Amino acid sequence: MKFTKYLLFILLTVSICFVGCSCKVRGSTSGGGIKFSIPFGSTYNYNDVLVKRVIDGDTIELASGQRVRFIGIDTPEVHESRKLYNDSKRLKMDISVIQELGRKAYGFTRDLIEGKSVRLELDVEKYDKYGRLLAYAYLKDGTFVNAEIVKEGYASLMTIPPNVKYADLFLKLYQEARQDKRGLWKE
């Protein structure tokens, strides 16, 4: 009976580790022992995070090293990728033209948020297939970064359900930017 209770305790402990929490084993500097911690209910605070660098017009890297992809928007590619070649074929545009537009979008986003603290808002899905955090970003002054990039004409729309919280706003801003020939739509 004691063995059964012990085995049940072990199974329960192991299953808790694999369901919804991360287990960390780390060395201790004081006694040389190993500490095992299970951070139950740990949440990540994205209310004040530093943008280390802008990777392209719609992707940033935080000071923590975590990459964040802005929800609801898509900017032209800067870097060599399958998407760049697919966009070139789909839009019937030369790769170098797309990359030049991508550099303009990158420059706008860089000037807007690089080196600044932002607040991140998550939607239904937290990560994309590349492991990037999916988020809406806000500057300290309240500027809605995703919306600002669209409003100023540096992004198209990329609405992927279930992350559609601001899809209507983005559509309105996109249509206005195109109509008013702002940003990339000047050309």
Active centre residues (catalytic): 69, 77, 132
| 36: phi then psi, degrees, rounded to nearest 5 | -115, 120
**How many CB atoms neighbour CB 87 within 10 A?**
17
Residue matched to tokens 């940003």: 183
Asked whether 161 and 94 are in contact (CB, 8 A), the reply is no
Helices (H), 21-143: 82-91, 95-113
Q: Chain centroid to CA 127: how far?
A: 7
Residue matched to tokens 């739509």: 185
Residue matched to tokens 């607040």: 119
Amino acid at 173: L
What 3-state class would DSSP assign to 27? strand
- Cα dihedral 166, 168, 174, 178 in deg (nearest 10): -170
User: Encoding tokens for residue 87?
Assistant: 């966009």
